[in-house]
Amino acid sequence: MLDKTKALCAFLNASHSQYHARRYLTDILDSQGYTALREADEWTLTPGGKYYVTRGGSAVLAFRVPEGEALGFLISAAHTDRPAFKLKENGEIEGVCPRLAVERYGGQLLAPWLDRPLSVAGRVLVQTEKGAESRLLDIDRDLLLIPNVAIHMNRQANDGYKWNPVTDVLPLLASPESKGKFTEMLEKEAGGKILSHDLFLYIRQKASVWGLDESFLSSAALDDLECVWGCFQGFLRSSTGHSIPLFAALDSEEVGSCSPQGAASTLLRQTISRIARALSLDENRLLAQSFLVSADNAHAQHPNHPELADSGNAPRMGGGIVIKFNANLRYCTDGLSAAIMRTVCRKAGVASQDYYNRPDIPGGSTLGCISIGQVSVPTVDIGLAQLAMHSCYETAAVSDAIALEDAMTVYFGSTLRRTEDSFILE
């Protein structure tokens, strides 16, 4: 396995929640000399400086200041969350065996979650003498399982069964003798009394590289941690030109981005405003020379169901970076932004391919369409082709993950000069 792929798998295996993904990224930024900024403080930035800021425990924005003149921003945005089950407060349910009360977070495929070992990860708010302290929690053992109903008792299981979230997806916790011990176990792991929590179920299966030629990568949360990692590695590896490279890993995309740390929030725009102010530059002039790459995975043509893809624009795994188009602006790509992204790919020596939804199958949207309301700059929607999007275990191509790293290295190291309908990428 290539070192780049090993590094991606390590990130995937450590990021069992959006909170753990953020910590993994900021630990690397700390180790590479980036300075943490607090939103509550005044920012002092210096030429050549490296900085990051976080919000909500699950979003991080990192940027570098050019040594010379700063012309604008080269931004990427991806998201740290994934469809999952979120644990309710007062979540233990009595019955034949204790179970946990959960609610659906995002639009996940339900069937793959059943009959496999699960556990719990996220953040807890622990009572201390000085107030509440946020701590990360990851129960690193097989803890839960959502059991299927036997085919003998559910003859419709293979005939389009309709799942009932009230009854069908409650995870089994323990034997009847263990009633009431779940909170006790959580507090022991957290090291104190828990006042509240944001905890999610996750599957215990690790990321896997597989196939006759080891060309496939499967893991939980490839949508969108694969793009987070590719953009992040490109950001770290790049040089800095006259554009300010700005990497953004945001939260809440799977539920509409309407959180203080999501794309609909003020986080990206306020960060840009504060950078401009700290450098004594005009924010609007900087934005006039800026660009955003919205990176969120794309649907590959399914080998068993090729008819579900658009006949002329069906990306394949291993075919390179996917540029996503939609006439009704479910994706932000237009002619100018597509041309910029294709130029980046050409300079990086990586392939690109195009995606349109099949006209009678509406697709989802991305954080790019939401963030553009806060930061109105030319935006391209890209992704990596994958199968089983929103399953708890998804599949993509190893080579595409590497292609994204290479393309984003070129992107973040460039200087963009643009007018209304043309551009120069140096």
User: pLDDT tens for residues 90-109?
Assistant: 888 888 888 999 999 999 99
Is 85-203 assigned to CATH 2.30.250.10? yes
Q: In angstroms, rounded to a whole number, what is the distance separating the alpha carbons of residues 378 and 74? A: 11
Residues 6 or more apart in contact with residue 333 via CB below 8 angstroms: 323, 324, 325, 326, 341, 379, 380, 381
Tokens 């000399």 sit at which residue? 33
Task: Give the chain's residues under pLDDT 70.
Answer: none
- Give whole-number Cα distances, 221 to 13, 110, 142, 199, 376, in Å: 10, 15, 19, 16, 28
Residue labelled with tokens 């104190």: 192
In the chain, the percentage of residues whose pLDDT exceeds 90 is: 84
Predicted TM-score (pTM) of the model is: 0.96
Q: Tell me which residue of 249, 394, 406 sits closest to 317, measured CA to CA.
A: 394
Q: Which CATH number is 3-82+220-425 given?
A: 3.40.630.10
Q: Where are the domains of the chain?
A: 3-82+220-425, 85-203
Q: Could you count the other beta carbons within 10 Å of the beta carbon of residue 256?
A: 14
β-partners of residue 198 are 123
How far is Cα 418 from Cα 320, in angstroms, rounded to an integer?
A: 26
Task: Report the candidate in 111, 170, 177 with the shortest Cα–Cα distance to residue 145.
Answer: 170
What was the pLDDT predicted at 161?
86
Bond into 224 cis (ω within 30): yes
pLDDT tens digits, 292-331: 999 999 999 999 999 999 988 999 999 999 999 999 888 9
Contact indicator for 253, 263 with CB cutoff of 8 Å: yes
Dihedral angle of Cα 289, 286, 243, 337, to the nearest 10 degrees: -30
pLDDT at 119: 97
Contact assessment for residue 254 and residue 297, using Cβ atoms and an 8 Å cutoff: no
Q: Which of 317, 298, 315 is nearest to 365 (CA)?
A: 298
